[in-house]
Amino acid sequence: MGKSWFVTTPNYWFPFESHSYLLFYQFLPLGLQRRHHQLFGKLADGRAQDIELLSATRLQRLFPSSSIARLRVTFWPETLVAYFARASRVRQRFP
C-alpha cells in the first residue's frame, strides 16, 4: 500500500459539466444523458462514454480514510480531491 495518494474528480454540484461542455448536464435524467453521449460523447474507438460525477459525500464514502479538499477558481468548487498521507511520511518531509 502506498504511503500517500490523491484522487481528483469534477464536483457534481458545480453547474458546468466539463466533459459535455453543458450547463446543468449532470442534473438531466439519465436517459437524456445517455442519448447525448450516444450522439456526441464518442471515444476515439467509437464507443459512447458514460460519466458519473461525484459529490464530496460520495467521494468520502469511496475513500473513507481520506480528507476531502474542495478546489475552486470561480464562485463554487469545480474539483474535489480525496487525499491521504501517512503521519510518518508527513513528519519525514516536514519536520
Digit-coded pLDDT (tens) for 19-68:
777 888 888 888 887 787 777 766 556 565 667 889 999 999 999 999 99
For residue 39, what are the contacts with CB-CB under 8 A and spacing of at least 6?
none
CA torsion, ordered 53, 55, 61, 67, to nearest 10 deg: 120
pTM of the model: 0.72
Instruction: Give the number of other CB atoms < 10 A from CB of residue 41.
Output: 17
Task: For Cα atoms 33, 51, 11, give the angle at the middle one, nearest 5 degrees.
Answer: 110
Q: Which pLDDT score is estimated for 94?
A: 41
Task: Tell me the mean pLDDT in the region 66-76.
Answer: 92
Would the pLDDT of 91 be above 70?
no
Q: What is the pLDDT of residue 45?
A: 61
Average pLDDT over residues 5-10: 91
Where helices occur in 1-95 by DSSP H, the ranges are 30-40, 56-62, 87-93
